[in-house]
Structure 1
Amino acid sequence: MQKRANNEFELGGFNHVSLLCDDMQRSVEFYRDVLGMPLIKTVDLPKRPGGGQQFVFDVGNGASLTLFWLANPTDGRPGHFNPPAGDQDPNVPQWNAAISSLNHVAFEVAPDKFDEYYLRLKEKGVGVGPIRNHDDSEAQEAEELHPGVYCRSFYFRDPDGVLLEFACWTRELTDEDVVHEPKTAADRVATATA
C-alpha cells in the first residue's frame, strides 16, 4: 500500500481499537488462543460502576485491540448498535447499523497468507463467510482473482457477535482510485424521500 502524506498530523496508523465484550474469559480464548494475538496488558477497573476490566492484545505493527468488560454495561439496541440475536451470519455485514456504531474491524494480513488463514480459521471451527474479491465492476466483487481486484477479504465474528474481517490489498491504490464525491446528511434525506 502506497504511503500518503498527512499534512496536518503525523499519524502512525491505529494505536488501538476498543470493543466491549460480554465474557472476558471467552473473548481472551478467542483472540489469544484462536486468532493467536498476544495478550500484552491487563487492567482491573475498580472505579467503574460495579467494576470492570481492560485487556489489550497486540495485532501487529504497533497496533492493539482493547477489550473492555464492564459489570454494568448499557443495553444495546438490537439491529442498531449490535446485530439482532440470531443474526450472526458472517456472510452478512451489518450495513444497516446506526450512526456512531461500529460496523466491523478489519485486520491486515499478507496477500500470500490470505488463503492459508481462511482455511486455518475454518479448521479452528470459526464460521467464516465467503472470500470476497473486491473490484470496480458493477457487482463490486469478482468470482476470481484478476488484475482489477484491489482487495481480498472475508468476514467472521467474535464470541460477542462483533464482525471481524481479514483483508489484504492486492494492488497499489493511486489517485485514479479516488473518483466519488462525498455524500452528506442531506443526501440521506433525499434518498429516503425518493
Structure 2
Amino acid sequence: MSRTTRFVCEKLGMPLIKTIQLAEGHGQHFFFDAGNGSCLAYFWWPDARPAAPGIAAPVDNSQIACEADTHTAIGSMNHVAWAVPPGRLKEYRRTLRKRDVECSPILHHADVPGGYVFQPADTDASVTFSSFYFRGPDGEYFEFTEQRRQFSPEHDIAHAPKTKADRQPRPSK
C-alpha cells in the first residue's frame, strides 16, 4: 500500500483522503480523491494472491501500444480512464513523463474498423477520444482521455450489448 500511495499521490497528484484499517489485521482500504466527487480506492491484504498478468491486466507495457492482446478475464478490471480537460492531454502526458511514468503514444479512438487511428485527431472526423495509457506500481492499467466531439444516441449507439451466449472462450493455457 505504501508504494501505491506514493504513486497515486506523487505521480498522479490525487490526495489520500481516507484510510481504513480492516479488523484483526485483515488489510487496509485507502481512498484517493480522483476529482469531481469520485474516488480511486485500493485494498491491501497480507495474504493477497500474486499479480496475474494476462488474466487481470494486459501482460506488460509493450501491450500499451495496441498491437498486442489486451484482453482480460471476466470479472477483472481492464483499466481505469480519467477524462482530462479539452486541449490538455499532451500536457498531462508530459507531466507524467517528467515524473518518470512510462506512457504510451497518444492513441485516437475512432469509428473505424479496428477502433483507432494514429494520425492527429484534428484531421479525422471519425475520432471520438484521444488517449494515452500508463501503469501503476503493481501493473494497474490507467488511461487519461480527452473527448473529441459530442455524442448523440442516433450516431453513437449502434451496437447491441453482447451476452453470455455470444462468448467464444479461449482455451486455458
Scaled to the shorter chain, the TM-score interval is 0.7 to 0.9
Of stretches 131-140 and 24-33 in structure 1, the one that deviates more from structure 2 is 131-140
Query: Of the candidates 81, 85, 88, which is equivalent to residue 61 of structure 2?
Result: 88
CA contact (8 A) 1:94 1:103 kept: no
What corresponds to 1:20 in structure 2?
none
Secondary structure, aligned partner of 1:166? strand
Q: For residue 182 of structure 1, what is the amino acid of its counterpart?
A: P
1:188 aligns with 2:167: yes
CA distance in 1, matches of 2:103, 2:57: 19
Structure 1 match to 2:4:
27
The Cα shift of 1:30 comes to 0.5
1:168 positional shift? 1.6
Distance 1:124 1:137, change over 3 A: same
Match of 2:128 in 1: 150
Counterpart pick for 1:163 among 141, 151, 155: 141
Counting only pairs closer than 5 Å after superposition, residues 1-194 of structure 1 correspond to structure 2 as 24-47=1-24, 50-84=25-59, 87-89=60-62, 90-92=64-66, 95-142=70-117, 143-146=119-122, 147-175=125-153, 176-189=155-168
**Structure 2: which 5+ runs fail to align?**
none
Other-structure match for 1:3: none
Normalised by the length of structure 2, the TM-score is: 0.85
Structure 1-normalised TM-score?
A: 0.76
Q: State the 1:120 CA deviation.
A: 1.1
1-structure distance, mates of 2:57, 2:152: 34
CA-CA distance at 1:183 after TM superposition: 2.0
Offset of residue 167 of structure 1: 0.9
Name the CA shift for 1:191/1:126 in 2 (closer, same or farther; >3 Å): closer
Q: Distance in 2 between matches of 1:70 and 1:94?
A: 29
Q: Percent identity?
A: 39
Q: What is the CA distance between 1:134 and its match in structure 2? A: 1.2
The aligned counterpart of 1:9 is none
Query: What one-letter code is carried by the residue in structure 2 that aligns with 1:30?
Result: F
Q: CA deviation at 1:94?
A: 5.8
**Partner secondary structure for residue 150 of structure 1:** strand
List gaps (5 residues or longer) in structure 1. Answer: 1-23
Amino acid at match of 2:109: H
Aligned residues: 165
Q: Is the 8 A contact 1:91 1:128 kept in 2?
A: no
CA offsets 1:10-53 (integer angstroms, 9 cap, x no match): xxxxxxxxxxxxxx111111100111001111111133xx4311
| Equivalent position amino acid for 1:160 in 2 | D
Q: 1:177 to 1:79 in 2, by over 3 A?
A: same
CA contact (8 A) 2:108 2:129 kept: yes
CA RMSD of aligned residues (A): 2.3
- Kindly state the Cα deviation for residue 180 of structure 1 after the two structures are TM-superposed: 1.3
